[in-house]
Structure 1
Amino acid sequence: MKMTLFLPLLLVVLSVSTDQTEALALQQSFSPDVHAALREMIASLTEQRLELRSLKKESAGNAAKFESQGAEIEKLKKQLEDYDTKLKGQETETNKLKQQLEVGQVAFSAALLVDGSTTFGPFNTFTTLVFKHVVTNIGNAYNEQTGIFTAPVKGAYHFEWYVGAHGGRHAAGAALMRNGERIFIAYEHQPSHYGTSANGATLLLESGDQVFVQQWHHSRIFDSQNHHTTFSGHLLFTM
């Protein structure tokens, strides 16, 4: 009876031992490959991490570089804008100086009559005198058709005017006008013989301002081929 029970038990033990041995052998046969694969995966992951860190570092460096370059570009752009503004200012100043040089020589002198002799007036109103006999008109700022001087450039100008008259009941007078403003007057009244009056003024004129001489109302002004009545002016300096 004992012998009969032992034999089946022995067979079971041998069977279990054989399965464990085969499993252990199978495990031993696959373990090196698994460890090698794991090591390879770990090495690959490590390499990828290092590469990723390198890429991040390079990306950060490029970003900083681009940011620095962007700041440098903006700086250069600002410098170019400042230079352009400065250049435009210099061009404007150059054009202004060029204009001043072109019109910097301004002078004229004219008398009422070209020839003959005439007494003008008296008139009931102020009358602009037209000085026809032009002896000097540098810069062509004086118009002999209207008797008006037009300032070609802003600056200080000096003017003089002389008024000739014969003695009598009427005085001789003429006023210097700037646009519609009366500046000074030259006025002479004597009962007999020939007389003259003169005056002068220095004016600050803007470009386009007009200066002329008006005969005083109820006055008489004489001129002849000897040119007693004259109007002169010239630019002192530009502003």
Structure 2
Amino acid sequence: MNLGFNMFFTIVTVQISIIFVMKAAGQSTTEACNSCCTSGIPGIPGQHGNPGVSGPQGMNGVKGEQGMNGVKGDQGFNGVKGDQGMKGEQGFIGEHGLKGEQGPQGLIGLPGANGVKGEKGEQASQQKSAFAVVFSSNPGRHAVSPMKYDTIITNVGNDYNLDTGKFVCAIPGVYVFQVTSLKSSGSSVLTHIMKNGNFQVSAYTAGTGDISASAMVILDLVSGDQVWTQPLSTSYNYYYDNINRYCSFSGFLLYAA
């Protein structure tokens, strides 16, 4: 746009310059002619000349200074706060949904009457064997042989033989045997518990006064085994007894095999 304007301005300037030149020339001619002759008829206007060559572009003008910032306007006033509206009425509570029906709980029944007491059950069959024998009179110096006690206190199963002085096993199992012997004053006794002729344990006592001794043993027996008591020798057979029954021999089945 600046290029077109400059071109137009240049053309106009050239045309004006031409007009002034022609006018100045005409005046000179008129003045010369006025002095010698009358004015001639004006000539036909000549055609416009071609546009002149565009002049060089002018230099850019100096950049103007930045204008001052405008003053910040005052903040407007806050509007008046409106009144709080009235609280609306509370709505109705909706109805609860239907709950499944639950059957009524039954009443706790009264305790039932005690049942009739059952009959006593039969005790399981248990094999039994037990004996206890004593001297009720003084045996004195007993022979080195099975001691034949003269009084039976207990003989469950009749496994003790009073005539032989021996216990004969009829129920295989584990048995407990015990012997107690009292010696006369100033002497000694040593009593063996024998099994099938073999010594098992002994009860021994010696010294001044009447002193007793005892021994116990547990034996595993089979049917037909024999158990008895007897003195060690004639040097250890000074037994003493009376109605108080100091000398005894006993045994019982602990459990059957």
TM-score range, shorter chain: 0.5 to 0.7
Please report how far the alpha carbon of residue 195 of structure 1 lies from its aligned counterpart in structure 2 after TM superposition: 0.4
Under a length normalisation based on structure 1, what TM-score does the superposition of the two structures give?
A: 0.52
Secondary structure in 2 aligned to 1:121?
A: coil
Please report how far the alpha carbon of residue 127 of structure 1 lies from its aligned counterpart in structure 2 after TM superposition: 2.0
Residue 224 (str. 1) matches residue 242 (str. 2): yes
Q: Which runs of 5+ in 1 are unaligned?
A: 1-99
**What are the residue-to-residue correspondences of 1:138-177 with 2, within 5 Å?**
138-168=156-186, 170-177=187-194
- Once residues 121 and 179 of structure 1 are traced to their aligned partners in structure 2, the CA distance between those partners, rounded to angstroms, is 23
Secondary structure in 2 aligned to 1:166?
A: coil
**Aligned CA distance change for structure 1 residues 167 and 181 (closer, same or farther; 3 Å):** same
Residue 185 (str. 1) matches residue 208 (str. 2): no
Larger Rg: 2
Q: Residue 146 of structure 2 corresponds to which residue in structure 1?
A: 128
Please report how far the alpha carbon of residue 141 of structure 1 lies from its aligned counterpart in structure 2 after TM superposition: 0.3
Please report how far the alpha carbon of residue 216 of structure 1 lies from its aligned counterpart in structure 2 after TM superposition: 2.1
- Once residues 184 and 140 of structure 2 are traced to their aligned partners in structure 1, the CA distance between those partners, rounded to angstroms, is 11
Asked whether the equivalents of residues 164 and 221 of structure 1 are also in contact (C-alpha less than 8 Å), the reply is yes
Once the two structures are aligned, what percentage of the paired residues are identical?
A: 27
**Higher helix proportion:** 1
Q: Which amino acid aligns with 1:226?
A: N
- Once residues 190 and 243 of structure 2 are traced to their aligned partners in structure 1, the CA distance between those partners, rounded to angstroms, is 20
Structure with the larger RCO, 1 or 2 (CA within 8 Å, 6+ apart): 1
Q: Residue 230 of structure 2 corresponds to which residue in structure 1?
A: 214
- Once residues 232 and 244 of structure 2 are traced to their aligned partners in structure 1, the CA distance between those partners, rounded to angstroms, is 22
Q: Residue 135 of structure 2 corresponds to which residue in structure 1?
A: 112
Count of aligned residue pairs for this structure pair: 132
- Once residues 101 and 164 of structure 1 are traced to their aligned partners in structure 2, the CA distance between those partners, rounded to angstroms, is 39
Asked whether the equivalents of residues 127 and 216 of structure 1 are also in contact (C-alpha less than 8 Å), the reply is no
Asked whether the equivalents of residues 173 and 221 of structure 1 are also in contact (C-alpha less than 8 Å), the reply is no
Q: Which runs of 5+ in 2 are unaligned?
A: 1-123
Please report how far the alpha carbon of residue 112 of structure 1 lies from its aligned counterpart in structure 2 after TM superposition: 2.0
Residue 204 (str. 1) matches residue 220 (str. 2): yes
Asked whether the equivalents of residues 112 and 129 of structure 1 are also in contact (C-alpha less than 8 Å), the reply is no
Secondary structure in 1 aligned to 2:211?
A: strand
- Once residues 128 and 251 of structure 2 are traced to their aligned partners in structure 1, the CA distance between those partners, rounded to angstroms, is 12
Q: Which amino acid aligns with 1:206?
A: V
Under a length normalisation based on structure 2, what TM-score does the superposition of the two structures give?
A: 0.49
- Once residues 164 and 193 of structure 2 are traced to their aligned partners in structure 1, the CA distance between those partners, rounded to angstroms, is 15
- Once residues 136 and 119 of structure 1 are traced to their aligned partners in structure 2, the CA distance between those partners, rounded to angstroms, is 20
Asked whether the equivalents of residues 162 and 199 of structure 1 are also in contact (C-alpha less than 8 Å), the reply is yes
Asked whether the equivalents of residues 109 and 231 of structure 1 are also in contact (C-alpha less than 8 Å), the reply is yes
Please report how far the alpha carbon of residue 101 of structure 1 lies from its aligned counterpart in structure 2 after TM superposition: 4.5
Asked whether the equivalents of residues 142 and 231 of structure 2 are also in contact (C-alpha less than 8 Å), the reply is no
Asked whether the equivalents of residues 186 and 197 of structure 1 are also in contact (C-alpha less than 8 Å), the reply is yes
